[in-house]
């Protein structure tokens, strides 16, 4: 199975800050990397697919980049509703493994 390692596992930031979350795959996954946002008690929501494509209706402050084994999710200016948990997921091969999550907290 492909292992996905996210870092950091948590971070503290302020409204308006720029933050970056990293996801590393244990082997090359081309651009088959997706990012999800999960609010407490809710299902995850797709933010970015194919490493850098913005899902419909997702604000443009979210951007994804990377290829091969190293990927990043950047939030350009944190809004109050962004202080939740983010997961990466590879869709290169089954099982579609997820990273362990990054919780973004208010400083």
- Site residues, another protein (CB under 8 A): 34, 36, 42-46, 49-50, 55, 87, 89, 91-101
Q: Count the neighbouring beta carbons within 10 Å of the beta carbon of residue 107.
A: 10
Beta bridge partners of 66: 71
Residue 71, SS3?
strand
- How far apart are CB 83 and another protein at their closest, in Å? 17
Residue in 20, 15, 18 with CA at minimum distance from that of residue 7 = 20
- How far apart are CB 54 and another protein at their closest, in Å? 12
- How far apart are CB 91 and another protein at their closest, in Å? 5
Residue closer to another protein, measured from CB, 18 or 39: 39
Residue closer to another protein, measured from CB, 68 or 96: 96
Half-sphere exposure of 60 (CA within 13 A, CB side): 0
């Amino acid at each position: 199975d492909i292992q996905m390692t996210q870092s950091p596992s948590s971070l503290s930031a302020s409204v308006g800050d720029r933050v970056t979350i990293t996801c590393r795959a244990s082997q090359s996954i081309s651009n088959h990397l997706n990012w999800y946002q999960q609010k407490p008690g809710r299902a995850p929501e797709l933010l970015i697919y194919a490493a850098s494509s913005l899902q419909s209706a997702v604000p443009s402050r979210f951007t994804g980049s990377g290829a091969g084994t190293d990927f990043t999710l950047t939030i350009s200016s944190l809004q109050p509703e962004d202080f939740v948990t983010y997961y990466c997921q590879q869709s290169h091969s089954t099982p579609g493994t997820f990273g362990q999550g990054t919780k973004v907290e208010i400083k």
